[in-house]
Structure 1
């Protein structure tokens, strides 16, 4: 009888341990060089939550965070260094999350972070194209001006479609709920209707 109780308790504790491990996130990150060694890097909740900021010291141009609790957070250095190392959004979902903190950063390794990185890369390409068009319109005339305006309109359509697909594919996730506040206004009325229908 005692033996059965012992194995039952062991089974329960092992189950609890496995559950805890399954929900753990690990962030493995790098910075551009060892010149940042000794600096603190912070993992900050997007929502106001005093006392919940995590921090570690950078060593050998790398850093690591571990924890539990899925939410949208920001990885950042102290203010004076943020011009050189971009602040990065990260979803602390279970798994190993790879972070490259640099002038243009990258976060990947888990489903939501991969999706966010793809969206971000596309968004940054469109921003560069927008700037090119704006600069060109300052001096363009006639057909050249018309072509640039058509290119601008095409970019706007692509942007709406990319935003729509992100929200449709991640409607009930931490990523989707966060991004909805930011990009929902950019959608067409028809896209908003389709999104509402899927969320019902």
Structure 2
């Protein structure tokens, strides 16, 4: 009987610890590059004041670092600014679970639902920036060559790519509604905005057409 009670207590304790752990956000990071050994890496609130009370930092040891945020919000992970060149700062969402972070020339974070989705959007954004940027450079080149017809065609192609990216971002925001990431993505491309008129009144404008909302 005592053995049975002891076993029940042990199982109960394990379940309690597991439950408590599931409510904690743990960030396990790797920094690529021996030159960063011993340097400090920072966890900074994405928005709001960055103070001694809100910013956390730790020394990189054996290429590793760990953070345990106590506030569920978005953060930036970045190296000491003296040694930041060559690495990509990273945005993460603090939420219950284990987040695996890699800081490199192209950084990444995966392991929890919102960070998995954020990584998808990050890769989508980087692809869009490459494609859109290349097309707009081509537009500028065509303009310098006085080839306005071809420049207009390429610009139209670039705009189609941008609209597709914008719509994909909005769709992701809708799918993540009610989450930290959902709010962040929704703010990237709001559907309307307020315009102040000469008489001091404000009207609601469609962000896609720049026409008043009817």
TM-score of the aligned structures, taking structure 1 as reference length = 0.79
Map of 2:20 onto structure 1: 20
Conserved in 2, the CA contact under 8 Å of 1:43 and 1:74?
yes
TM-score of the aligned structures, taking structure 2 as reference length = 0.74
Higher RCO, 1 vs 2 (CA within 8 Å, ≥6 residues apart): 1
- The gaps in structure 1 that reach 5 residues or longer are 1-8, 192-200
CA shift, 1:23, in A, is 0.7
Conserved in 2, the CA contact under 8 Å of 1:23 and 1:68?
no
Conserved in 1, the CA contact under 8 Å of 2:191 and 2:206?
no
User: Aligned equivalents of 2:15 and 2:160: distance in 1?
Assistant: 53
Map of 2:187 onto structure 1: 181
Map of 2:32 onto structure 1: 32
Give the alignment of 1:80-119 within 5 angstroms: 80-119=82-121
- The gaps in structure 2 that reach 5 residues or longer are 1-8, 194-204, 209-214
Cα deviation digits, residues 16-56 of structure 1 (max 9, x gap): 54442111112111112121111111111222263122221
Conserved in 2, the CA contact under 8 Å of 1:45 and 1:52?
yes
CA shift, 1:80, in A, is 2.1
CA shift, 1:124, in A, is 1.1
Larger helix fraction of residues: 1
Against the structure 1 CA distance between its residues 178 and 151, is the aligned structure 2 distance closer, same or farther, given a 3 Å change threshold?
same
User: Aligned equivalents of 1:127 and 1:37: distance in 2?
Assistant: 31
Cα deviation digits, residues 56-109 of structure 1 (max 9, x gap): 110111212234432111111111222222211101111111111112211111
For 2:123, which of 102, 121, 124 is the aligned residue? 121
Cα deviation digits, residues 136-181 of structure 1 (max 9, x gap): 1123226533431231121122122112112101110011123333
User: Aligned equivalents of 1:181 and 1:135: distance in 2?
Assistant: 27
Conserved in 2, the CA contact under 8 Å of 1:30 and 1:61?
yes
For 1:157, which of 152, 163, 188 is the aligned residue? 163
Conserved in 1, the CA contact under 8 Å of 2:170 and 2:186?
no
User: Aligned equivalents of 2:104 and 2:190: distance in 1?
Assistant: 29
